């Protein structure tokens, strides 16, 4: 939405910009706190900019005026020299100005900056601010090109949606300790589940209770022996450990009990497998988590009790079809059942 704020500033003389100004006033409410009392797309946009500013991200601070000939830039009202408009930086000097909307070209063309003042500064704060203003603009040279707005996040000065999206994402999204692991051999939905397991963002009974929702029990619905947390469901529950034991026997690799995603990842990285086979094995673990989560949901919401013995068989068959066709490899179902560690990828 902020691109419309940018377009309003950079295309200030366009027809639609004049319509906005005629409806909402000369200052068009950008950068100001507004209360939307009637339907207005423009005020909704301005409100979102203000909400981000209250959270600590002032998008308008990345929009600056680059002065060329100075005829399209207001000397006092706009930020064209430094980070703050002169009317805020030198309020006592601004109070003496008789032409508040004077542009930079007209102001600097006079013999003195006080030429358009209603009177000369009388010493004290007035004189100090006036002297500071003179020192600040001293040496400013204008060139024979039009003034333009620049977007400081881009070296070219041009606004892009990608740059502001990256800025907002970096500001609002939580940081993670490591990069997201993505296994192409399994579908997106399975990768997303693994990502949520890593971040502990699944609606387990423990997470639901932490959000203040009343539930009958926070115990694991599959074993009933511990609190249903992400760690318990996928790593410490006896069902998860039994299935992992079967998978390691199937792959002919040493079994290791892990109690968290972090421990599981360390174990995965330590396995003596080729890079391709290690990625496939990691994908099989993702598929295992997918079926464990489905088993849990069927146990809670299903009309019939699911079979624990079928989980391992489903992991084998589903991972075979996903891995074979997504990897474009040519191995048979028999080869996959014997030992995936030995199939050609």
Print burial letters for 100-124: b (CB count within 10 Å at least 16), e (below 16).
eebbbbebbeeeebbebbeeebeee
- Residue 183, in any domain of the structure: no
- Residue 220, in any domain of the structure: yes
CA dihedral 76, 81, 82, 87 (to 10 degrees): -10
Q: What is the pLDDT of residue 263?
A: 95
Q: Are residues 160 and 239 in the same domain?
A: no
Q: What is the pLDDT of residue 176?
A: 61
Q: Are residues 12 and 136 in the same domain?
A: yes
- Residue 177, in any domain of the structure: no
Could you report the per-residue pLDDT of 109-127, keeping only the tens digit for each?
Answer: 888 888 989 898 888 899 9
Cβ atoms of 66 and 148 within 8 Å: the answer is yes
**H-type helices in the chain, by residue range?**
2-10, 15-24, 41-54, 86-89, 91-96, 104-108, 124-137, 161-172, 188-199, 205-210, 230-231, 238-251, 261-270, 275-301, 309-327, 333-338
Residue 319: which of 281, 345, 293 has the closest Cα?
281
**Domain end (from 144, 172, 200):** 172
CA dihedral 329, 334, 337, 343 (to 10 degrees): -30
- Residue 181, in any domain of the structure: no
**Mean pLDDT for each 10-residue chunk of the chain (345 residues)?**
88 85 71 70 87 88 86 85 85 90 89 89 89 88 86 88 90 72 92 94 92 89 92 95 95 93 94 91 96 94 90 94 85 90 79
Total domains present in the chain: 2
Instruction: Give the structural domain span for 167.
Output: 2-172
**Domain end (from 172, 207, 224):** 172
Q: Is 294 exposed, middle or buried (0-12, 13-18, 19+ CB in 10 A)?
A: middle
**Domain end (from 125, 145, 172):** 172
Q: Are residues 193 and 156 in the same domain?
A: no
Q: What is the pLDDT of residue 149?
A: 86
Structure tokens at 2: 């902020």
Could you report the per-residue pLDDT of 64-95, keeping only the tens digit for each?
Answer: 888 888 888 889 888 888 778 888 889 999 99
Phi and psi torsions of 33, nearest 5°: -75, 125
Residue 8: which of 35, 46, 37 has the closest Cα?
46
- Residue 178, in any domain of the structure: no
- Residue 180, in any domain of the structure: no
Q: Are residues 109 and 197 in the same domain?
A: no
Q: What is the pLDDT of residue 70?
A: 87
Q: Are residues 168 and 192 in the same domain?
A: no
Q: What is the pLDDT of residue 345?
A: 72
Q: Are residues 133 and 192 in the same domain?
A: no
Cβ atoms of 227 and 219 within 8 Å: the answer is yes
Q: Are residues 239 and 139 in the same domain?
A: no
Q: Are residues 40 and 80 in the same domain?
A: yes
Q: Are residues 277 and 329 in the same domain?
A: yes
Residue 278: which of 287, 286, 268 has the closest Cα?
268
Q: Are residues 150 and 256 in the same domain?
A: no
Q: Are residues 250 and 159 in the same domain?
A: no
Could you report the per-residue pLDDT of 179-188, keeping only the tens digit for each?
Answer: 778 999 999 9
- Residue 30, in any domain of the structure: yes
- Residue 298, in any domain of the structure: yes
Q: Are residues 16 and 86 in the same domain?
A: yes
**Measuring CA to CA, how many Å separate 264 from each of 190, 245, 268?**
17, 13, 6
């Amino acid at each position: 939405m902020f691109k419309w704020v940018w377009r309003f500033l950079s295309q200030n003389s366009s027809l639609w910009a004049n319509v906005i100004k005629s409806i909402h006033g000369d200052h068009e409410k950008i950068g100001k706190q507004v209360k939307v009392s009637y339907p207005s797309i423009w005020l909704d946009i301005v409100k979102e900019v203000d909400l981000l500013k209250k959270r600590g991200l002032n998008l308008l601070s990345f929009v600056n005026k680059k002065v060329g000939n100075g005829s399209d830039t207001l000397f006092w009202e706009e930020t064209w020299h430094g980070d703050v408009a002169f009317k805020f930086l030198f309020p006592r000097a601004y109070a003496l100005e008789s032409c508040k909307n004077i542009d930079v070209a007209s102001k600097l063309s006079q013999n003195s900056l006080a030429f358009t003042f209603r009177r000369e500064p009388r010493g004290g704060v007035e004189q100090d601010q006036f002297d500071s203003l003179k020192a600040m603009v001293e040496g400013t040279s204008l060139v024979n090109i039009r003034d333009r707005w620049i977007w400081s996040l881009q070296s070219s000065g041009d606004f892009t949606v990608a740059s502001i999206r990256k800025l907002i994402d970096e500001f609002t999204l939580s940081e993670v300790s490591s990069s997201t692991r993505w296994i192409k051999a399994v579908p997106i939905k399975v990768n997303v589940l693994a990502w949520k397991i890593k971040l502990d963002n699944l609606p387990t009974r423990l997470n639901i209770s932490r959000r203040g929702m009343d539930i009958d029990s926070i115990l694991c619905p599959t074993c009933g022996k511990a609190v249903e947390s992400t760690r318990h469901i996928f790593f410490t529950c006896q069902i998860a450990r039994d299935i992992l034991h079967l998978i390691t026997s199937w792959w002919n690799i040493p079994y290791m009990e892990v109690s968290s995603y972090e421990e599981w990842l360390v174990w995965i990285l330590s396995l003596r497998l080729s890079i391709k086979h290690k990625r496939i094995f990691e994908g099989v673990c993702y598929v295992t988590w997918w079926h464990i989560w489905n088993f849990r949901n069927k146990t809670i919401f299903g009309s019939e009790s699911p079979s624990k013995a079928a989980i391992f068989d489903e992991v084998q068959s589903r991972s075979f079809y996903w891995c074979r066709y997504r990897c474009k490899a040519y191995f048979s179902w028999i080869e996959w059942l014997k030992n995936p560690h030995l199939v050609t990828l």
